[in-house]
């Protein structure tokens, strides 16, 4: 959805994974998902800050919300840029 990011989705053994890369091909984060449960996997050069439905992080103030990926179950959005960016998994069950 957002031209600044590449999102790859795949499934293995009933678990869905979503890998986000920057345009240079570097892995930024990987999110795992089963039903309404989400988690992150270690990936990339530095740990991305990720807010999950089960573990919310504070969002930076006065930054733009950008939708990176959207499905029927959830949206993956990023607030801010660079090292201070916070990625957010917005479950459709809790969004709104």
**Over the Cα atoms of the chain, what is R_g?**
13
36-40, 48-52, 57-61, 92-96: least confidently modelled range: 92-96
**Up-side HSE of residue 47: CA atoms within 13 Å toward CB?**
6
Cβ within 8 Å of residue 36, ≥6 positions away: 53, 73, 91, 93
30-51 burial, b at 16+ Cβ within 10 Å, e below that, comes to bbebeeeebebeebbeeebbbb
pLDDT at 94: 55
Q: What percent of the chain has pLDDT over 90?
A: 77
Determine the structural domain holding residue 48 and report its residue range. 5-91
Spatial CB neighbours of 51, under 8 Å, sequence gap ≥ 6: 57, 59, 86, 87, 88, 89
How many domains are contained in the chain?
1
Any domain includes 17: yes
pTM (2 decimals)? 0.89
Is the residue at 35 inside a domain?
yes
- Angstrom distance (rounded) from CA 76 to CA 84: 16
How does pLDDT run across 5-48, given as a tens digit for each residue?
999 999 999 999 999 999 999 999 999 999 999 999 989 888 89
State yes or no: pLDDT of 96 exceeds 90. Answer: no
Does 96 map to a domain?
no
């Amino acid at each position: 959805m957002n031209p600044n990011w590449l999102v790859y989705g795949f499934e293995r053994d009933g678990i869905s994974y979503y890998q986000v890369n920057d345009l240079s091909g570097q892995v930024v984060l990987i999110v795992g998902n089963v039903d309404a449960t989400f988690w992150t996997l270690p990936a990339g050069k530095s740990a991305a800050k990720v807010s999950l439905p089960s573990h919310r992080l504070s969002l930076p103030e006065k930054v733009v919300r950008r939708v990176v990926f959207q499905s029927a179950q959830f949206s993956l959005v990023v607030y801010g840029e660079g090292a201070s960016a916070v990625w957010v998994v917005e479950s459709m069950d809790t969004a709104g």
